[in-house]
Structure 1
């Protein structure tokens, strides 16, 4: 047998500092570690068995068999700078990794059930990406955002769909690349909300001539799924201003009727002149009409009379001239070997008396197959200088047999007649303003039919459910939370309007969608959840000296420095101009001289960008106290983003202890409490389930430092016995009865739980 163990020491660069060790005989994970002399890792380490995370308790029973792969992923740890000192910014970045822990993407998303297979040609592709979701962004100036990741630059990730090729620029977001192109090997766009898009060419464009007028046929892919088409334009002008242009929108599952869409143009035909045998000419060609493994039902040719057809007589008039030619085709196999004899598709004659260039197209039916085609002139050429009697082979087309299936794509068919009103450049500047149609979920009725929507929630759900996304069942998505958040975002006017046209992991896409709603995706118990950073007033748990492990409490202050940003410049794509724009947000007492720049992908409104800029700026100023402590299993009560109350003597965050007696409205406390003259004091109690009751107004009992009288009705009966933990209390004047904090990470540590949190400040949520 042959198994292997991969030791991944650098999760940021999985291919670097990696060791691959062969395993020649069946061993349990624990036995293999013992043979290598590894008793414990020096950093927090995850173990993946064939992509699935396994607990340490299962290491002795998990046996590596033939073909198995066990990966040990060392998580980032630490935060100190060199030289014996501490680098506050590096500390914040290490804490940011803890923040990202609930939202691990890329390599770890697979072990949590969010991979699926690569789906080439889509905008959402799952693969190995960076582990940190970009919680702290550094863009010119230092910027801290501990709870919700700061927006990252909108750049493409690794191009999984075209190995070896570099990502192509976005035809919509890159101003230098705006236009319609056939982006071979690049993702099919996925658009959410309302947006302008320069759609990619779905097939090779082709042309035909009718009565010497040129018609151009283009087929565009608007995107995957259904769309409500608001407007079609050529550059900035509505297409209705061009009477020579016809369009047809093909919904998913439909077929185009405006023109034949599966047409191949042979590049070998490029204006070769046809000569008769009398002129010393021969057959031109044969040229292959269609690629291998394709069948055609019709063949088409273009002929051009570049000087027109005429003879200039002595009176100065133009006399009629005629040209004759023959078109032949022969069946060939996929290797290009002839499997049939030549057949005549047509013997054509064309007459005219004009010195204007003439172009004509001819189309012939053929039995389904693969063909090569040749042409020859039949009549002799009039070489007189007075005559225009020249014919050239202008093009060869094959019309493939059958009706193409576009699948779940919305297609735009465009037929354009060449006139002075259209230029070659403008023909490649077709754009559309569309709104994505998505199903909307209701708790009572389930999913609706697709409707136009700009909702962040249903874009998030679609990325989780769709075939081009994570392909998750509804049971693995927290739909109730999305429904609740959808109402919040709708009331605030928060929307997601963006196009995914570059390859990226599903998790990165979910992160970008969430960030437009001040939220972050989280994997919890195999369920994809989305957590927003709203104002919270009621802590879900209370921690104090009685349930914080002695010596584990750490408080770090991240002090501002010269490079700390005092404002935030938010880049967004404006729906007014459909061009990149920016707005700078600063707090009322900030100078705004040193702004940090962030890109809010999916934002198209200035007021939305301004709100998020103020939120980021407030985070950067007010959330700079980072708390770490250990507790017992009650540390599993809160989850990422929850508000908890912390009481501790070191920073003088309230006063805490146990309730040791209860009689009527008087409580006896285990510790004497200090009273502040003229202030209203509050006392909060911990419930038996770990939750918080209160806070309740209290007053002192004269002459007793350990007794308080409760002025508000108690909603919980304190336990003061000895068979279980007594009820804990937290006490202080006004809001100082405890320090509220937002949970950033919860990490098991043997029989204890380590909690990382950031001290909360209500000023963050003003906007």
Structure 2
């Protein structure tokens, strides 16, 4: 039973600032607040609590039980203060901390159980503390940091709890039938424990036992580098045969359309001399094949667990013989007989052996559904010196219908039982594979599938595939992906990940792009990928002339005691094929307070180190958040674009209009303040909103509004009155404007609100 908790960080923007969490119902409001670290003495002055829209008085927090499906709203009203000299509390910081802790209350116990801790209570506390710590130390701007590590939880999933990933969950590693779970999609190079595609079965040939397993490697086509049992190549086992089956092909190593009747499990066939009065001696009947299937052959295993023999006084063994009969009856989908019983086979076997004997018999039948029974025909020698016991080991049906596995790659494995193989090792088959994907070129289009670890073409496949977004090429910015592919290839950035749990397609997009320091966006119905990389030319310029008066705001995110000074990146190492981690810190950081993140799809230490340094630099240097409103020219930039901002409040250059142009001398609307000995620059806004320059300029002595342009102008300033004049931005050195990266664009009636973060070149240290 669960309930929903809504955290409202800003009561004046309840929709935009809310976050929703799930908690276990049955706890009181007071218990919830205690778990969030709020002392009972502060409940009266704490956040406002509403349940189903009704305010709950602080006096009943301790007894008000949260019921199933109830909605709890936690609202922190600003009561003064702000962290300044007055000693007040920051209400936004407090409510965000509550949000982190509420999330940890729900996730912590689940994490603890899957981690395998012996004491659930202690483990839950440890997991809760770790999640709360991770949630409160990193500041992210342009490209969000990867999600905090939760190794005990399956990455993704909706509805009921998904099965653990056999790839990323160490406790779940092994071959298993994950019924109802998605068929894995693998990108790049990875080690996987392939799922079972059909029910394994076994039979006996010449007294030797064989096990047959059919595995599904994943959707699409793969280059198989190695097949192993645990860490040993499968070629080291002479008793094992394998077959790789590409999409659209059929398995030839063994029949795959085989089902076993679970009811048959070694029952003894009772001899006529031991049958009880009134018993007909038959074992069964048992249905051989399920409803809506047709079998054209039946297989029966017969076992002599003690062998067949009689021990003479001399110590030699005398032959003994056993006889039995197999009968079948056709049945319909309701299990009702539609015909009479007929003898399928009568068998006789003789031997003089005191070791177990196992045999398999296969009989063709007319296509249909059958039930099968068996009985022994000869009397049993009950002498203690005799081994004369017959058991029915298994019943299998070979079906007529060939299963359609779809466009997947299969692995068929046939094992002969020997001392080299155990039951456990037979379920530890793994493969190292590389996904084959088509590669796009602007000149030749799509190629044939080829092995690749590319981030770009993994992203494109997720967009196009039936298991992805099913988008046409026209809905994907393929040219941008081709450009980024060259960047990622030169850096050695790859995506090596396994999607084997339910998740939204946008979540998959985000994980793939994040491995390349990028983020997906949808613009005009087109899926684009924006990478956070150095940009030198702003796409637009904003200043006092085109920023709405009174809308310019700067928020400084100040570091605190819990601010991370390093980043520990968890990744799945391609050296050990197990989770690993590396801690990245800036040169002047102690690294005593690292934040932990998980970079899904990263398998190289060097790649993880680069991304850790980027996250750490982003956390330190991008802490000035800028918000302002402008007119429709605010639609010119897009997410991640570099813009130039001029404003006198933070002294980011000087701005105004060009009101005259006389050769290389510009007449400006505002008097300029120059710095002695410095080189001054002036940038101009183009008619399309873009930026021209900056150009080196020199003040005209005695004229505060005149400057002489020292570099050739690439744009002719407009100084008339029929349209907006050309805007300028002026200042010494790099101080002519502040560059910023766009992180949000929101239409507001006839205006556009832009949110940006002040750019710092030190973020792009690698």
Q: Structure 2 length normalisation: TM-score? A: 0.83
Q: Which residue of 1 aligns with 2:585?
A: 586
Does structure 2 conserve the Cα–Cα contact (< 8 Å) formed by 1:89 and 1:558? Answer: no
User: Residues 80, 550 of structure 1: CA spacing in aligned structure 2 closer, same or farther, 3 A cutoff?
Assistant: farther
Match of 2:707 in 1: 708
Contact 1:141 1:595 in 2 (8 A): no
Provide structure 2 residue ranges, at least 5 long, that are not aligned to the other structure.
1-13, 24-72, 84-88, 100-130
The answer to whether the 8 A contact 1:254-1:406 is kept is no
2:204 to 204, 209, 220: 209
- In structure 1, runs of 5+ residues without a counterpart are 1-7, 17-75, 98-135
Whether 2:266 is the aligned partner of 1:267: answer no
Corresponding residue for residue 473 of structure 1: 472
Shift of 1:407: 1.2
1:255 and 2:250 correspond: yes
Distance in 1 between the 2:519 and 2:675 partners?
41
CA distance in 2, matches of 1:283, 1:653: 95
Q: Report the counterpart of residue 642 of structure 2 in structure 1.
A: 643
Q: CA deviation at 1:156?
A: 3.6
How much has 1:334 moved relative to structure 2? 0.5
CA contact under 8 A between 2:78 and 2:91: conserved in structure 1?
no
The separation in 1 between residues aligned to 2:719 and 2:391, in whole angstroms, is: 103
Counterpart contact for 1:303–1:360, Cα < 8 Å = yes
1:71-82 mapped onto 2 (5 Å cutoff)? none
**Residue of structure 2 in register with 1:517 after alignment:** 516
Alignment partner, residue 82 of structure 2:
85
After superposition, what is the alpha-carbon deviation per residue over 1:335-369, rounded to whole angstroms, capped at 9, x for unaligned?
A: 00000111111111111111000000000101111
SS across alignment from 1:459:
helix
| Distance of aligned partners of 1:199 and 1:692 in 2 relative to their CA distance in 1, 3 Å threshold | same
1:340 aligns to what SS in structure 2?
coil
Structure 1 residue 85 displacement after superposition: 2.9
1:647-706 deviations in Å (ceiling 9; x for gaps): 000000001111111111111111111111111110000011110000000111111111
Match status 1:288 vs 2:287: yes
1:425 has 2:424 as partner: yes
- Output the CA distance in 2 between the equivalents of 1:137 and 1:193: 33
Alpha-carbon separation, structure 1, partners of 2:19 and 2:525: 23
Deviation for aligned residue 1:81: 5.8
- Residues 9 and 645 of structure 1, relative CA distance in 2, 3 Å threshold: closer
Counterpart-to-counterpart distance in 1, 2:136 and 2:687: 46
Partners in 2 of 1:630 and 1:328 — Cα distance?
Answer: 85
Could you report, residue by residue, the CA deviation over 1:298-338 in whole angstroms, capped at 9, with x for unpaired residues? 10111110000111111110111111100111100000000
Change beyond 3 A, Cα 1:80–1:483: farther
Q: 2-side partners of 1:85 and 1:9: how far apart?
A: 23
Q: Between the two structures, name the one with larger relative contact order (CA 8 Å, sep ≥ 6).
A: 1
Aligned to 1:482: 481
Q: Secondary structure at the match of 1:333?
A: coil
Aligned ranges 1:345-424 → 2 under 5 Å: 345-424=344-423
Change (3 A) 1:137 1:729: farther
Deviation for aligned residue 1:405: 2.0
The residue aligned with 2:316 is: 317
Residues 739, 92 of structure 1: CA spacing in aligned structure 2 closer, same or farther, 3 A cutoff? farther
**By how many angstroms is 1:260 displaced?**
0.5
Q: 2:369 is paired with a residue of what secondary structure?
A: strand
Contact 1:255 1:406 in 2 (8 A): no
The answer to whether the 8 A contact 2:77-2:91 is kept is no
Provide the rounded CA distance (Å) in 2 between the counterparts of 1:548 and 1:402.
70
Residues 158, 597 of structure 1: alpha-carbon distance in 2 compared, 3 angstrom cutoff: closer
Task: Provide the C-alpha distance between the structure 2 equivalents of 1:760 and 1:137, rounded to a whole number of angstroms.
Answer: 29
Task: Give the Cα separation in 2 of the matches to 1:509 and 1:336.
Answer: 45
- In the other structure, the counterpart of 2:142 is 147
Aligned position for 2:746? 747
Shift of residue 277 of structure 1?
Answer: 2.3
Counterpart CA distance in 2 for 1:609 and 1:290 is: 51
Q: Is the 8 A contact 1:682 1:698 kept in 2?
A: yes
Residue number in structure 2 paired with 1:23: none
Query: 1:620 matched to which residue of 2?
Result: 619
Question: Aligned residue for 2:667?
Answer: 668
Partners in 1 of 2:484 and 2:92 — Cα distance? 33
Does the 8 A contact of 2:82 with 2:90 survive in 1? no
Q: 2:170 aligns with which of 160, 171, 175?
A: 175
Contact 1:264 / 1:290 at 8 angstroms: preserved in 2?
yes
Structure 1 residue 89: Cα displacement: 9.8
For the Cα contact (< 8 Å) 1:276–1:379, is it kept in 2? Answer: yes
**2:538 pairs with 1:543:** no
SS of alignment partner, residue 376 of structure 1: strand
Task: Please give the per-residue CA displacement for 1:577-616, whole angstroms capped at 9, x wherever unaligned.
Answer: 1010000000000000000000000000000000000000
C-alpha distance in 1 between matches for 2:749 and 2:185: 44
Give TM-score, length-normalised by structure 1. Answer: 0.83
Distance across 2 between alignment mates of 1:91 and 1:625: 17
SS in 1 for 2:247: coil
Distance of 1:432 and 1:372 partners within structure 2: 39
Residue-by-residue CA offset, 1:185-228 (whole Å, 9 max, x unaligned): 11111100000000011111100011111100001010000000
How has the CA–CA distance of structure 1 residues 347 and 222 changed in structure 2, closer, same or farther, with 3 Å as cutoff? Answer: same
How far apart in 1 are the matches of 2:200 and 2:298? 16
**Aligned CA distance change for structure 1 residues 207 and 238 (closer, same or farther; 3 Å):** same
Deviations 1:490-537 (A, max 9, x none): 000000000001110000010000000000000111111111001001
SS of residue paired to 2:141: coil
Q: Kindly report the root-mean-square deviation, in angstroms, between the aligned alpha carbons of the 2 structures.
A: 2.2
Q: Output the CA distance in 2 between the equivalents of 1:606 and 1:524.
A: 34
Shift of residue 404 of structure 1? 2.2
Q: Does 1:222 align with 2:217?
A: yes
8 Å contact from structure 1 (residues 140, 597) kept in 2 = no
Whether the 8 Å contact between 2:574 and 2:604 is mirrored in structure 1 is yes
Report the Cα offset of residue 93 of structure 1: 11
User: Distance between the aligned counterparts of 1:563 and 1:287, measured in 2?
Assistant: 66
User: Conserved in 2, the CA contact under 8 Å of 1:476 and 1:527?
Assistant: yes
1:575 corresponding residue in structure 2: 574
Q: How much has 1:624 moved relative to structure 2?
A: 0.2
**Hey, what's the Cα distance between the residues in 1 that align with 2:524 and 2:579?**
39
SS, match of residue 736 in structure 1: helix
Deviations 1:148-184 (A, max 9, x none): 0110146546644xx5x42111111111111000011
Greater shift after overlay, 539-548 or 137-146?
A: 137-146
1:493 match: 492
Give distance in 1, aligned partners of 2:708 and 2:669.
15
Closer, same or farther: CA 92–515 of 1 in aligned 2, 3 Å: farther
Deviations 1:3-60 (A, max 9, x none): xxxxx969754999xxxxxxxxxxxxxxxxxxxxxxxxxxxxxxxxxxxxxxxxxxxx
The answer to whether residue 685 in structure 2 is matched with residue 686 in structure 1 is yes
CA distance in 1 between partners of 2:597 and 2:199 (Å)? 38
1:193 to 157, 177, 188: 188
CA distance in 2, matches of 1:736, 1:90: 32
CA distance in 1, matches of 2:95, 2:410: 45
Query: Conserved in 1, the CA contact under 8 Å of 2:81 and 2:90?
Result: no
How far apart are the structure 2 equivalents of 1:608 and 1:201?
33
